[in-house]
Amino acid sequence: MGATTPLLLGVDVGGTFTDAVLVSNGSLFRAKVPTTVDQSLAVVEASRKVIEMSGAAAAQVSYFAHGMTTATNALLERKGARTASISTWGFRDILEIGRQDRPRLYDLCPSRPEPLVPRELRLAARERVGPVGETLPLEAEEVKRVVDRLRRLKPEAVAICLLFSFLDPAHELRLGEVLARELPEVHVSMSSAVLPQFREYERFSTTAVDAYLTPVVARYLMTLGERVRTAGLPEPAIMQSSGGVMPLGQAAASAAPLLLSGPAAGVVGSIYGGGRSGIDDLIAFDMGGTSTDVSLVRGGAAQTTSEREIGGQPVALPMVDIHTIGAGGGSIAWIDPGGALRVGPESAGAEPGPACYGRGGEQATVSDANYLLGYLGEKLGGADGLALQREPARKALGRLAAELGLELEETALGIRRVVGAEMVKALRVISVERGHDPRMFVLVAFGGAGPMHGADLAEELDIERVMVPDSCGVLSALGMVVGDERRDWVQTVYAAEGWDEQSLAGSLARMEAAHAAETVGAVLERRADMRYRGQSHELTVEVGERMSRDELVRAFEHEHEKAYGYTAAEEDVELVNIRLTALRPLVPVRIGDAGRERKSARGPARGTADGREQTSRDRSAPGSRSAFFDGEWVQADIWRRGQIGATRVRGPAIIEEDEATTVVPPGWECSLDEAGNLWLETHKLERSDA
């Protein structure tokens, strides 16, 4: 296969399904298979299917990117490695003490997640480094004592986090070197390598997460690597939480950057899909089988954060700012002790799956509700063409309806409304609660279940347009092949006063020199974390070429105004951290007419080639079925997405494709644009044919 026509493979593992896409010479091939207990088996099977569809061979694949849930699941389910820690003497319990904050102020019986390192595995070394250098040496006898104790405790991993190691890592490096020699089978995570940044609790927590997860993730990645080699595929690059990929070897050496691997790829895919239609400001809404992920995109760039808790553990690494809730197509409906209907976070998963899958599931799920309301057809096009079964779904919802004292339709609609309320709440978190008006954004609905709920959520938020991207059901897998290779570094260089552009440039130059081997041929982005004196948190600003100190301060004040609504010009501005990002753009992806990006951000072009607008009243739908809208059963038009052409389809209608289904309620209409993206819009004009 020539270099001008590379085959690009992306595979995303979800809680219910594993999705694969293959881009070959402008064509896109898609496959979806149930996720297996050993996720690498589903990865290989999905890859095999999509390559077979294209008529190519595995050996012709030139690039393979992979996103996974292994790290996330291991942290949430507390199935990581047996982890010990080494801290400075007197600071053994930092992980348990934390910040002494109260997440729920009026909770009389608060409970906190247990530290990842139990107390009996927390060791302390007699040594001390202060802000101006070593104050207590790390003696050879002390190193031997700590290593001998670890040998008896038999951990799988060790997290080393010593005071001020972000300024002077010598003691950490010495401990790490001895452990690597004396206990080579034990993984070691050092805070000076994982997160050389001040705030010891967040640094220690992030390092502990890395140590806790890396052995588990490394085992999975090594198994995956062996299986893909056997299948004749190239070694996969691994998607990070930051939205870029990294080589498998680097991913296996440090797992903390992989916590939001799959969800981050979905945001990258939504940016790519929106860009094809000229949309730069969007809200990504990804609803799969197990969870829903939402994120905000401005100016074609995902919002990022380095302050995030996952599974109750602070992780201070750069990541796409994603809000996740346990609400998906497989989320189970249940009744709480007060008699209220609830949905999720528990999911039916892939096995047995929702009751309508006919695989033994007995609890009512969101998918069962959508099926009995007529929104889902009799067969799922993806996932091996799974035939849905009505009777198991009726029995599951019937039991719930009997407990609630409601009709079957009311119960199914109630499930949709409850899960919808949870998703609206999540969308408000990343928009309204952060100072953004959701009405100014396009809602991009994707994932296997997202397009079924997109219009309902848009109505709740007064959003007038919903975009359902091409390949919406496998968009996270597509995001794997359109993302850049990326590495991120951070270093604390705290300067309360006296800093200028020269000192900042010198610090950045030293950071670049330290990572020169890893940044060859990469595009470098430089940033700085700044704050007003006395503030507890920083804001990040871009550091451009030859920016003066005054220009940097003005850039910070601009960000402060956006974040908090005011500036304090009389206050000194402190320089806290510097950040370096290395990006290597991958092969440009062209799918169909993807190269012809629209210049307007106004959505789909209206009208047919001869200028005459064609509605579904002018052209009969290929089919119809009974569906429940506005409290009654009505006949909804059924269209295959590929059959729409220039037709504007008016609701009630249902648009089906192999990997997803889009619901167009009454009062909405939809059409395809030049890039193949599907647009849902509320009715704005009264037409004589209405």
Q: What is the pLDDT of residue 616?
A: 54
Q: Is-cis flag, bond preceding 352, omega within 30? A: yes
**pLDDT (tens digit per residue) in 188-245:** 999 999 999 999 999 999 999 999 999 999 999 999 999 999 999 999 999 999 999 9
Q: What is the pLDDT of residue 614?
A: 57
Mean pLDDT of 520-540: 92
**pLDDT (tens digit per residue) in 93-135:** 999 998 877 777 787 787 788 999 999 999 999 999 999 899 9
Q: What is the pLDDT of residue 352?
A: 86
Q: Give CA–CA dist 397/373, Å, rounded.
A: 11
Closest residue by Cα to residue 372 from 345, 398, 347, 335 = 398
Domains of the chain: 76-220 (3.40.50), 485-584 (3.30.1490)
Q: What is the pLDDT of residue 380?
A: 67
Q: What is the pLDDT of residue 251?
A: 95
Residue 207 CB contacts under 8 Å (≥ 6 apart), including other chains? 159, 160, 161, 189, 190, 191, 194, 195
Cβ count near 275 (within 10 Å): 18
**Whether the predicted pLDDT of 606 surpasses 50:** no
Q: Give CA–CA dist 316/487, Å, rounded.
A: 15
**pLDDT (tens digit per residue) in 465-482:** 999 999 898 999 999 998
**Whether the predicted pLDDT of 67 surpasses 90:** yes
Relative to beta strand 632-640, strand 653-656 is parallel
Closest residue by Cα to residue 529 from 496, 498, 562, 575 = 575
Closest residue by Cα to residue 396 from 421, 371, 378 = 371
pLDDT grade for 588, boundaries at 50, 70 and 90: low
The model's pTM is 0.87
**Whether the predicted pLDDT of 85 surpasses 70:** yes
Residue 443 CB contacts under 8 Å (≥ 6 apart), including other chains? 282, 283, 285, 427, 454, 457, 458, 461, 463, 465, 466, 467
Q: Give CA–CA dist 389/60, Å, rounded.
A: 39
**Whether the predicted pLDDT of 448 surpasses 50:** yes
Percent of the chain with pLDDT over 90: 70
Q: What is the pLDDT of residue 621?
A: 77
Q: Give CA–CA dist 312/221, Å, rounded.
A: 25
Residue 502 CB contacts under 8 Å (≥ 6 apart), including other chains? none
Q: What is the pLDDT of residue 460?
A: 94
Q: What is the pLDDT of residue 144?
A: 97
Q: Give CA–CA dist 591/594, Å, rounded.
A: 5
Cβ count near 357 (within 10 Å): 27
The answer to whether 206 touches 100, Cβ cutoff 8 Å, is no
Q: Give CA–CA dist 168/367, Å, rounded.
A: 54
**pLDDT (tens digit per residue) in 133-153:** 999 999 999 999 999 999 999
Indicate if the alpha-carbon torsion angle 417, 423, 426, 428 is positive or negative. Answer: negative
Residue 365, Cβ density class (10 Å: 0-12 exposed, 13-18 middle, ≥19 buried): buried
Q: Which residue do the tokens 């380095």 mark? A: 306
Q: What is the pLDDT of residue 618?
A: 56
The answer to whether 622 touches 610, Cβ cutoff 8 Å, is no
Tell me which H or E stretch contains 661.
Answer: strand 661-664
Angle at 650 between CA 393 and CA 357, to 5 degrees: 15
Q: What is the pLDDT of residue 101?
A: 76
Question: 21 is written with which tokens?
Answer: 């896409």
The answer to whether 539 touches 559, Cβ cutoff 8 Å, is yes
The answer to whether 191 touches 175, Cβ cutoff 8 Å, is no
Alpha-carbon separation of residue 656 from 380, 465, 473, 623, 640 (angstroms): 9, 19, 11, 11, 5
**Whether the predicted pLDDT of 35 surpasses 90:** no
Mean pLDDT of 356-379: 92
Q: What is the pLDDT of residue 599?
A: 33
Q: What is the pLDDT of residue 265?
A: 93
Q: Is-cis flag, bond preceding 392, omega within 30? A: no
Instruction: Name which residue leads in pLDDT, 499 or 104.
Output: 499
Residue 297 CB contacts under 8 Å (≥ 6 apart), including other chains? 267, 270, 271, 274, 280, 281, 282, 283, 284, 303
Q: Which of 84-98, 314-328, 671-685 has the highest mean pLDDT?
A: 84-98
Burial readout 324-346 (b: 16 or more C-beta within 10 A, e: otherwise): bbbbbbbbbbeeeeeeebbbbbb
Burial readout 110-137 (b: 16 or more C-beta within 10 A, e: otherwise): eeeeebbbeeebbbbbebbbeeeeeeee
**pLDDT (tens digit per residue) in 625-658:** 999 998 999 999 999 998 898 889 998 999 998 8
Angle at 38 between CA 34 and CA 39, to 5 degrees: 55
Q: What is the pLDDT of residue 69?
A: 84
Cβ count near 531 (within 10 Å): 18
Question: 271 is written with which tokens?
Answer: 């940016």
Alpha-carbon Rg for the chain in angstroms: 26
User: Looking at this protein, which amino acid is placed at residue 134?
Assistant: E
Q: How high does pLDDT run on average in the chain?
A: 89
The answer to whether 336 touches 372, Cβ cutoff 8 Å, is no
Q: Give CA–CA dist 36/329, Å, rounded.
A: 18
Percent of the chain with pLDDT over 70: 93
- How many residues appear in the chain? 690
Instruction: Name which residue leads in pLDDT, 379 or 245.
Output: 245
Find residue 388's DSSP bridge partners.
none
Q: Give CA–CA dist 440/58, Å, rounded.
A: 44
Q: What is the pLDDT of residue 238?
A: 96
**Whether the predicted pLDDT of 186 surpasses 50:** yes
**pLDDT (tens digit per residue) in 291-343:** 899 999 999 988 888 888 888 899 999 999 999 888 889 999 999 999 999 99
Relative to beta strand 614-615, strand 647-650 is parallel
